[in-house]
Amino acid sequence: MNNKIRYLFSTSVLCIGWVGLLLLFSGGALAQTIEIDLPSCNYLQYVFTLKQGTARDTVAVGRLDSVGKASFTLPASYASYCGVGNLSVPTTHTSINMIINGEKNLSVKEDSEPDSGIFSGSVENAYLQELFSRQSRIISDYNAAMNSASSTASPFSVHWQQVSELKARYSLLRKEMKESSLYAARMVEMLGCLSGMGRSLDTHPDSIVVEQHRFVSQELDFHDLYTSGFWQPMLQLWYESALGNDSLLLNDSKHMLDKITDIPLRRELTQSFIRMFSKYGKDYLLAELGTEYLTMPLNGQPAPEIVVGDSSFVPYLSLIVFYETGCGNCHYELEQLKKNYKLLTDNGIRVISIAADIGEEVHAETSAGLPWADKLCDYKGFDGANFRNYGIVGTPTFILTDKDGIVRGRYAQLKELLK
């Protein structure tokens, strides 16, 4: 496997907390069972996670037996999902990524290489490893042939013939991947884009940037991206490849949103645009995007009144945090908020938390440890009035208002506000 690709697949994914899941297929697939064989981790706890966009979902937790074996069945709600799962043993460095695509006999065994597994019963994972191997071999042979050819004056030398043959093999491999229906092919395409691999082996660096931009904005299926674990870096790559061109960013945003009919996916992409444009000081593009695409208050606009039962109030000089119990990032941010609560109140800022919880007991348990007075929940999840009025499409989300009740910031992390 090419070192750069191996790095992206095994380590960058950890940095962004990856673990994708799901491309929802039609039909009633049976729940998938996964067999684990990790002898070096006997008696230890394992965790299996899946991810949608930037949200992580733990779907199985258990303990390996005396010889390091275990099995678990994905919850019925994930029976027909396709994407990338992550198996980890928290007390060790073991963290194995794998494609989940409804294959009934999937098993994973320990490999001699770190963060790697040996799979059986999985066409997807076998094809993924095959693609990596073939692509790596072509690139390695091409680099060697180019080194030899560069010292040869004759364009008809055997080395230049090898270069030409390897370029043709690379093009055929890309064609094969494009025509494949397997998710493994989509993964390698996305990794190739992220690692700067062009459509041909001799693509000029300037052209690669253009290709990357076209791939993300025009060709990429966002359902595939949603499940890959590469959501954030791929959108970051798209932004950077637009080279600060406001017109291009705006047109791309509209085009990408227009392609998506799935509501949770559209919400995730909308939230990503909000965070990215705010991060780079391009909030004005959100206003230009318009209410056809955005239904939330933008910076400089009045904050909607917060609904509490049959009444409501304007959140003057407030920090509003939208969260959901069970969301790992939410709990981390709530802990950070608790640590900085006195700093906020010393500056006259009122803290208001609004939960997307459905169950009263769940909400009560989480909110009991929060030191502020305003801890709200209407038990309607993301369909609640406050979530709708503020256009919340992902948690955690922080909204800062000033003394006049005007929105002055929208953040995914508290540190973005405190820096």
Looking at residue 155, its pLDDT comes to 67
C-alpha 321/C-alpha 312 separation (Å) is: 17
CB 142 within 8 A of CB 167: yes
202-258 confidence digits (pLDDT tens): 999 999 999 999 999 999 999 999 999 999 999 999 999 998 899 999 999 999 999
Give the full edge-to-edge strand order of the sheet including 55-63: 55-63, 45-52, 83-88, 95-100
C-alpha 12/C-alpha 241 separation (Å) is: 20
C-alpha 15/C-alpha 57 separation (Å) is: 16
C-alpha 300/C-alpha 283 separation (Å) is: 10
- Is residue 38 predicted with pLDDT exceeding 60? yes
- Is residue 363 predicted with pLDDT exceeding 80? yes
- Is residue 312 predicted with pLDDT exceeding 90? yes
Matching residue, tokens 């009991």: 368
Looking at residue 293, its pLDDT comes to 77
Domain 3-120: CATH architecture, name and number where available: Sandwich (2.60)
CATH of 306-418, one of 3.20.20.60, 3.30.1300.30, 1.10.10.2120, 3.40.30.10: 3.40.30.10
Looking at residue 295, its pLDDT comes to 67
**What tokens were used for 348?**
């006259």
Q: What percent of the chain has pLDDT over 70?
A: 91
What is the residue-averaged pLDDT of the chain?
Answer: 87
C-alpha 130/C-alpha 77 separation (Å) is: 30
Q: Where are the alpha helices (DSSP H) in 150-244?
A: 158-179, 183-194, 205-214, 222-226, 231-241
Looking at residue 120, its pLDDT comes to 94
Classify residue 407 as exposed, middle or buried by CB count within 10 Å of its CB (0-12, 13-18, 19+). Answer: buried
70-93 confidence digits (pLDDT tens): 999 998 888 888 999 999 999 999
Matching residue, tokens 């169950």: 359
- Is residue 188 predicted with pLDDT exceeding 60? yes
Least confident of 279-288, 361-370, 379-388: 279-288
More confident position, 151 or 25: 151
C-alpha 186/C-alpha 265 separation (Å) is: 18
Can you state the angle between helices 183-194 and 123-149, rounded to 10 degrees?
40
Q: Residue 362: which pLDDT band, with cuts at 50, 70 and 90? A: very high
pTM: 0.70
- Is residue 98 predicted with pLDDT exceeding 90? yes
Q: Which residues contact 14 (CB under 8 A, 6 or more apart)?
A: 95, 115
Residue type for 151, please? S
Residue type for 311, please? S
Give 24's DSSP letter: P
Q: Which residues contact 330 (CB under 8 A, 6 or more apart)?
A: 323, 324, 395, 396
